[in-house]
Amino acid sequence: MLITFDQKEYEKLDDNSYRLEKRRLQIELLKLQEDVIKNNRKVCIVFEGRDTAGKSSASKFFTQYLIPKNFSYVNLGIPSEWESSHWFERWEKVIPKEKEISFLDRSWYTRALTEPVMGYCSERQYREFMQEVLSWEQKLQKDGVELIKFYFSITKDQQKKRMKARKRSKLKYWKTSENDEQMVTKWDAFTLYKEQMFEKTAVSFSPWVVINANNKMIARLTALRFLLNQMNYDYKKLLKPVTWTKNVDYYNVTIEGVRFTRLSYEQYKVLSRYSDDD
C-alpha cells in the first residue's frame, strides 16, 4: 500500500501562516507524546529518501519542542562488519522503548536502497532482507510498536540544486561526502531499487507514505500533519488547514543566515527550497 500525501493548501503559505501552522501542529505533536508517555506506547517514525531530501531537517522540526528524555533521534551511519551480517539485530537496538518516540534518519531500509546501489551489501544479503523485512516489521507491531514509514521524494533537478548549494555553503559544505557525490550519479539505479522497495514492502499493515519534498518547509508540515491524522491521542484538536491565497503582500525566507523579506509569491517559491527556516 503506497500512500501519496500532498497538502495542496501549504503551497500558498506566507511567512506568518507557516509559523502559525507549524506552532499548531507542534502543539498537537506534544499532546501525542504525552499520550505515548501516559499509555506506555512505542512509536517509530522512519524517514527515507535520497540525499538532500530533507530527512534530517524533518527530524529536527518534529522534535524541536518534545520532552527530550522521551524521544530519540537515530542516525546509525556506516555499519560494522558484525552489524552488516546481523542487520535486524543492529536495528532492534534502536527500536523505541515504552513511553518513547524514535525518529530514524534512514533506517533498516538502507539495505533496500543505498547499500545495493553502492555495492555495500551482497546480492544474497539484499534478497534476504527483502524476503524477511515485512515479517520482522510484523513482529515489531505485535510487540506494540506503532510504525510510520515516510519516503521524502525530490526531483533529479532539485537534488542537483541542493547538492550544489550545499557544496558552496560555508556552513553546510561538510554534509557533502564522496559517497553523496557518487549517489547523485546513480539516480536511475536508485530509482529502480526504490520502486522494488515500494512494490515489495508497501503493504496494508506497513504502508509507505510518499511526501513531495521539493519544498522542505512544506514537506515538514505535510509529514507532521499526516502523522497526527493517523495517530490517536488525548485532547486531539487537529484543525483543518486554512485556505491561504496568493494575494498576500509579502513572503520572507532565511538562507545561510541571511533574511530575505517582502518577496513576491513567485520569488518565495524558488528561494524557500533552500530555506534554513524551521
Are the CB atoms for 120 and 130 separated by under 8 Å? Answer: no
Are the CB atoms for 222 and 27 separated by under 8 Å? Answer: no
pLDDT, position 79: 94
- Total-model pTM: 0.83
Interval 223-233 mean pLDDT: 94
Q: Between the CA of residue 121 and those of 46, 78, 206, 255, what are the distances in Å? A: 21, 12, 24, 38
Interval 245-252 mean pLDDT: 52
pLDDT, position 143: 97
pLDDT, position 270: 73
Are the CB atoms for 224 and 61 separated by under 8 Å? Answer: yes
- In the chain, pLDDT over 70 holds for what percent of residues? 85
Averaged pLDDT score across all residues of the chain = 87
Separation CA 107–CA 98 (nearest Å): 20
pLDDT, position 246: 44
Separation CA 232–CA 71 (nearest Å): 18
Indicate if the pLDDT at residue 100 is higher than 60: yes
**Which triple of cell numbers denotes residue 271?**
528561494
Digit-coded pLDDT (tens) for 109-145: 999 999 999 999 999 999 999 999 999 999 999 999 9
2-242 under CATH 3.40.228.10, yes or no? no
Are the CB atoms for 159 and 220 separated by under 8 Å? Answer: no
Separation CA 184–CA 6 (nearest Å): 25
Three-class SS state of 207: coil
Digit-coded pLDDT (tens) for 207-224: 999 999 998 889 999 999
Closest CA to 32 of 70, 85, 77: 70
Residue where the block lists cell 498576500: 248
Specify the higher pLDDT residue, 247 or 149: 149
**Which triple of cell numbers denotes residue 14?**
506566507
pLDDT, position 276: 54
Digit-coded pLDDT (tens) for 33-91: 999 999 999 999 999 999 889 999 999 999 999 999 999 999 998 999 999 999 999 99
pLDDT band with cut points at 50, 70 and 90 for residue 262: low
Interval 88-99 mean pLDDT: 96
Interval 258-277 mean pLDDT: 67
pLDDT, position 52: 87
